[in-house]
Structure 1
Amino acid sequence: MKVSGGGPHQSKTMMLADLGAVLAAEAELQPDKVIIGENLLGKPSSRAREAAAYYLRQLYGLGDTPPAVSRALFALWRRDPVGRPLLALLCAIARDPSLRGGAAAVLDGKVGEQIRSPAIAAAFEAEHPGRLGLNMANSLARNAASSWTQAGFLAGAVRKLRSRPKVTPTAAAYAALLAQLAGFGGQTLLESRWLDVLDRPAEDRMALLRQAEGLGLARVRSAGHVVEIEVRRPMAETLGIPGLVHR
């Protein structure tokens, strides 16, 4: 999880279709071979191929030694076709501070409300004052708006309106994993920005995590006002990724 600095969204979107093509080819451990060597993504030049491989590595941890969070993404992607856009967005948010920095403009918007690119740029500026010049901030905002559209949070080619994404128990478990890795637990995990990405109220978030428990991806316990949510260990055991616990 990248805490600070720039990120791919200053130049690219979340590249959802490209990620899907690489994972469909089961080439996440050898992205350069298929993206650069075989031009799997149909890029027009060697420079474009190299750029695509670079940005996909930055966004999703593709390569021969992917971090545990990326390995979890790859495994969950194959289990949950419906949840893929949200799974990819969550990983991109975790690994790209530039996308994460402007998220409030979208997450805090109401369904049907128009979300303009300048609002995303302003949200990033509020989080990171003076970090980007005007042109770079505008580029970031446009790319971020495209990514939020790919993930189902915005609808419309030009006039972007806030919409509801498709949310699955698997995506909820992945959001909870990221929240837990960021230091959240119990009720604060449910209320964290990571779970805000599910775009559902607290009771629905809990219901989704209980469904994820049935898939072996979470453990949820609640008694009165005390809530316990454990994701790292059950997900590590179910997916065979010990690095989720031992890191």
Structure 2
Amino acid sequence: MRILENNISAFGFSNEKGGAHTSRTMMLDELRVLLAYVGDPEASKTDYVKVIVENNCLGKRSGKTRILTSRHLIDLYSLNPETTIFRALLYFWQRDIEGQPKLALLCAYARDVILRTCAPFILSFQEGSVIFREALEEHIEKNFPGRFSKATLKSTAQNVNSTFTHAGHIIGKAKKIRSKALPTAGSVSYALFLGYLMGIRGASLFKTEYINLLECSYDKAIELAADASRRGWIVFKRVGDVVEVLFPNLLNSQEMEWVREQNQTTSKIL
């Protein structure tokens, strides 16, 4: 079950109106360059903004563009190591190079309401199907009636398509064709962690919207979670149908307290 937004916003989830995808993609290339340039998991949000704006590590032409770029990256990823989901992103980013596009998608999905709204539409297409931009524009307009101009609808649809192309759900440039994403041990672990922060426990963690975003079956997710556990990234235990997943490497003492409160709230409701 879902915990109310005000209980999970402290972890870094966002349901704010707008979203970077009205003007940018999930900015995978910029994120890769930025994280490689900084190279310090304890770097502060101020440090990230400084290297973008002052050092111009992303090679932007003007000061205004640098500032806008930093704002979009903050919207998508927070860039704050005190934010749980960004710190966890960094943890898996360093350990699962192949899974980086999926890791970026998961974090952006947790923070961008437009991307979350569009994901079910993209995932509804069968592999090999053509995804027309105009159909995605209609989907966005249906979910946000009258909110965007025709030009913004077009650019937003293009940006969303590009994000899912970078993540492996779509192939092609001019013609967008649905393909199947390939999950990794790190991306599945991060998806499980996001579900855990939402208050989901046990076997249900393997059936969340985050696992679904990776197009990962229950059995495959179990297999990859076991692999991640062997690597020491997470703790995965399974006895018959009883499943437990823990994240001792990813939560500080304050966050553990929030999780305990979350467990108590869930138990009372159930």
Q: Deviation string for 1:165-195 (max 9, x for gaps)?
A: 2321111000111112123233332222111
**2:95 aligns to what?**
79
1: CA distance, partners of 2:78 / 2:232: 24
**Which of residues 131, 146, 165 is equivalent to 2:162?**
146
**Counterpart of 1:167 in structure 2: which amino acid?**
P
The answer on 1:245 being equivalent to 2:261 is: no
**1:228 aligns to what?**
243
User: Aligned ranges for residues 56-95 of structure 1 at < 5 Å?
Assistant: 56-63=73-80, 66-95=82-111
Following TM superposition, by how much is the alpha carbon of 1:164 offset from its aligned partner in structure 2, in angstroms?
2.3
2: CA distance, partners of 1:242 / 1:115: 45
**1:198 aligns to what?**
214
Following TM superposition, by how much is the alpha carbon of 1:48 offset from its aligned partner in structure 2, in angstroms?
0.6
2: CA distance, partners of 1:76 / 1:189: 18
Unaligned runs of 5+ in 2: 1-12, 259-270
**Counterpart of 1:168 in structure 2: which amino acid?**
T
**1:166 aligns to what?**
182
RMSD (Å) for aligned C-alpha atoms = 2.2
Q: How high is the sequence identity, in percent, across the aligned residues?
A: 32
Q: Deviation string for 1:86-125 (max 9, x for gaps)?
A: 1011000011111111001222222111122233334444
Unaligned runs of 5+ in 1: none
Contact 2:16 2:113 in 1 (8 A): yes
**1:98 aligns to what?**
114
2:38 partner SS:
coil
The answer on 1:5 being equivalent to 2:17 is: yes
1: CA distance, partners of 2:142 / 2:120: 10
The answer on 1:23 being equivalent to 2:35 is: yes
Contact 2:182 2:215 in 1 (8 A): no
Contact 2:38 2:48 in 1 (8 A): no
2: CA distance, partners of 1:125 / 1:243: 40
Following TM superposition, by how much is the alpha carbon of 1:43 offset from its aligned partner in structure 2, in angstroms?
0.7
Q: Which has the higher contact order (CA 8 A, sep 6+)?
A: 2
1: CA distance, partners of 2:208 / 2:142: 19
1:57 partner SS:
helix
Following TM superposition, by how much is the alpha carbon of 1:130 offset from its aligned partner in structure 2, in angstroms?
4.7
Deviates more, 1:211-220 or 1:9-18: 211-220
**1:49 aligns to what?**
66
Q: How many pairs were matched up?
A: 241
Following TM superposition, by how much is the alpha carbon of 1:243 offset from its aligned partner in structure 2, in angstroms?
5.3
Contact 1:112 1:161 in 2 (8 A): yes
Following TM superposition, by how much is the alpha carbon of 1:129 offset from its aligned partner in structure 2, in angstroms?
4.7
**Counterpart of 2:256 in structure 1: which amino acid?**
V
CA distance 1:197–1:244, change in 2 (3 Å): farther
Contact 1:236 1:245 in 2 (8 A): no
Contact 2:25 2:160 in 1 (8 A): yes
**1:37 aligns to what?**
54
2: CA distance, partners of 1:43 / 1:227: 51
Deviates more, 1:106-115 or 1:89-98: 106-115
Deviates more, 1:21-30 or 1:198-207: 21-30
With structure 1 as the length reference, what TM-score do the two structures score? Answer: 0.88
Larger Rg belongs to: 2
1:230 partner SS:
strand
Following TM superposition, by how much is the alpha carbon of 1:74 offset from its aligned partner in structure 2, in angstroms?
1.1
2: CA distance, partners of 1:123 / 1:244: 36
